[in-house]
Amino acid sequence: MNLHRSTAVTAGVFFLLTEVGAIVGVALYSPILNGADYITGAGADGSILLGLLFELLLVIAAVGTAVTLYPILKRQNGGLALAFVAARVLEAAAILIGTLSLLTIVTLRQQFEGSTGDAATLSTIGSTLSALRNWAYLLGTNFALGAASLLLAWLMYSSRLVPRGIAILGLVGGTLISLSAIAVMLGLYGQFSTLGLVVALPVFAWELALTAWLIAKGFRPVSILTTPAAPLAAASR
């Protein structure tokens, strides 16, 4: 049971790092998103690069949550547990694509700083890379995150590894953020509109609640012990 407790704490810390990486990262590199001509301007590269480092932390922590929880979750439902890992890896990969696109903007700005090149062309390239980041972010931190949250919340709900109230919050949050991503793709509202931000609040609350519970309380022992793994093992003999 001590091993299960350490697993819960480790997973909780990884979830906490995803929140820190996402919030701090965007706050630091927001100038590159808000400034249409950042690639041709002076630029605050130090802040941008630090923000992108926090985003790399987000990528590592997102995969870390899946890898840490998988040994526990597969005892509840192996297929869904593997799907959760896949969704989390997809989320991390999409975020990484967005991170690389912003790093490319910084590199091009430094490379052509003070040159007499075509500013309009550079601005177009910068806008293209910024658009790629926004789409990658939509697919990663919205759609894939929603899918991962739904899978994890259902596993937590059906197994009662955590209180069902927390799991239900994850089911609601995961559903809303996934549907919101589809709505943005269809052009129903903007990715960074007020409605889009409001819809993202439940999944944010779910991750915070899950983080707090895993670190403070861990998994419910009875739920870990009453796993279908034993009958399956007996049947395979």
Digit-by-digit pLDDT tens for the chain (237 residues) are 455 889 999 999 999 999 999 999 999 998 888 766 788 776 678 889 999 999 999 999 999 999 999 999 999 899 999 999 999 999 999 999 999 999 999 998 888 776 656 778 888 888 899 999 999 999 998 999 999 999 999 999 999 999 999 999 999 999 999 999 999 999 998 888 889 889 999 999 999 999 999 999 988 775 554 444 443 343 334
pLDDT of residue 4: 84
pLDDT of residue 59: 96
pLDDT of residue 111: 84
d(Cα 166, Cα 75) in Å, to the nearest integer?
20
Q: Classify residue 30 as left (phi > 0), alpha (psi -120 to 50) or beta.
A: alpha
> In this structure, what token pair is assigned to residue 78?
């192996």
pLDDT of residue 236: 36
pLDDT of residue 133: 92
pLDDT of residue 232: 37
Gyration radius of the chain's alpha carbons: 20
Three-class DSSP category at 136: helix
pLDDT of residue 231: 39
Half-sphere exposure of 117 (CA within 13 A, CB side): 18
Three-class DSSP category at 115: coil
Global pTM reads 0.86
Half-sphere exposure of 9 (CA within 13 A, CB side): 7
